[in-house]
Structure 1
């Protein structure tokens, strides 16, 4: 389902009193769940009133501006609308501006993205902050052409599988190009402990029956990722950097993430569209096109086989996180089970069982290798007769390890198709 006008507040969480002071023209909202929802809470900020140009002047009066923003005195008309990620104000002066409010702020990397992402990206040109937290992002209004989500829907209804695959391949290339551009900007080592801890907290908040931890690949380095990527963010070769989703308010990111998480976000959005449209196009082929497009242009290390290796988490565990985030948001609204997220999560135990059974082969490989190496060590230097058995063990170990790696599920196959 496309993200359009709708409630951006967690409707199922009661609003509670607070003592925080908001800047002029704003009010702070605190939400905290009760009973089964007691694990969910968040703080938000919203404009008190946006009717006249004078309201805009008051709203920005105590905020710190950055980048290119309109002169508040030049605004002659204001109109507002709601979006699931927060209010939007259209401002008219000599130029048309779009002010996107950030009710729950950002992950602190918005300006880093603006400064380091390629010019081909659709980025805010400026914004406003308060006490170091981003409150508003500003864009210049431009004429909008059809986005990739709209093109893909049209391909599902009137086009061919080939058309859909090419659209997705272009999206993958676009995302990979963004990642390649920021490869040297800000890279830190993989952070599996925090990633596993984050997934654990999401599972606990949802009382989930599924539990998933992974060692992750060391190639999964943390970088300046987009965070949440949707098909509608791709338009004419440009990638729009959108506002954070509601789940970032309910469970704020507390760590860096690898590039493959952006890909997982986009892959999961494809799953949403595929499910909602009811198309009979093969989801595996569609996912493969998106993955191949990304691997064509993304940094080689970040898109390596090691990163996609499912026995160490691969793409699958990041898709699992996206499913949990969908459920967190739906729970905060009490809007029913979000599909296909719930259906995919239901297949996680069987996916994990398959992975666990595969580890038997991996364990045998390690044992054979251990026996081979220790035998050589004990008889070193071995005679021509003594080297035979250790060599056989090492050959068997290599063959078993190769078999084990081949048993790793392919990233283009979703959980529910692996049974």
Structure 2
């Protein structure tokens, strides 16, 4: 008799992806106001936890081989939540506590899924990112969602959200190319997603792309085969050239103004330099424990809508040296868990997830807050965590 096939993650992965991608989407963006449920995270998280409970009830999960990677992240979150004890008077902490709790639950769900079937969950997540990149690109290409100054965005998200999906679309295009027998058709979207990334006007996103490419080249440099990559590079170059000729004039003026005149000519940094300098000053004034969660805006006297736009500097200002140490510990735990697997045993899904996490983490140096870092933590966790090996049968 054939043994029944082991259960594999299904709907719960899709729900987890939607929860992670939705961010703080509210029904108010579409003209609806429903108390409590207005924050779509409430029903989405309830559906996610219910789906996880239903799908895992008949599954035996083996312990994680390197579950300490999750503990490092949760220790950082717990410290940030604890820091509300010493926040300055007037600091708004409720929404930030909700963000930390939501991010922690999302990571625990993905950790459970990774222990269940890491490569299946990661492969599905990468494919969903690819589909989402297409949806966002087509929405923006239709002219919907652009900002007032012409930057591409879509579906209620800003340009910095848009650029992340465009570049994750590029990374997942390469993943699908390698996973599906190196058929060059899978690389055809790369120039289009790159075009969308440039049209977003996000300088931080493009810096993140450049850094991720540099890391990847350092990792695979000994194995580069020029003959093997000549054909796919030729296809990408051909499609890219056609795209520049046909659609380039649409954004030529915007690129000139945003990247050349404003950035290179005038050194315009969207006030990031001011925010970074303020964060460093606050860290020096409160070096050990920082100002407490969301204390940056209160201490700096800036608008409540402004934040540091840099994850390490934000943690330094609001969590002090202790917060920075926990951030570094979380990253080191993920790195140690990742390299604990020999390169020969490291799956394509794990390597791709690592590059996705590195890219999102780099963009968190220029935009985003604690909750925006959730995709970095999710992808790095999927790269690092896997089930422990089943014990070998005892010979009789």
TM-score calculated relative to the size of structure 1: 0.24
Which of 1 and 2 has greater Rg?
1
The structure in which a higher percent of residues are helix is: 2
TM-score calculated relative to the size of structure 2: 0.25
Higher relative contact order (CA 8 A, sep 6+): 2
The structure in which a higher percent of residues are strand is: 1
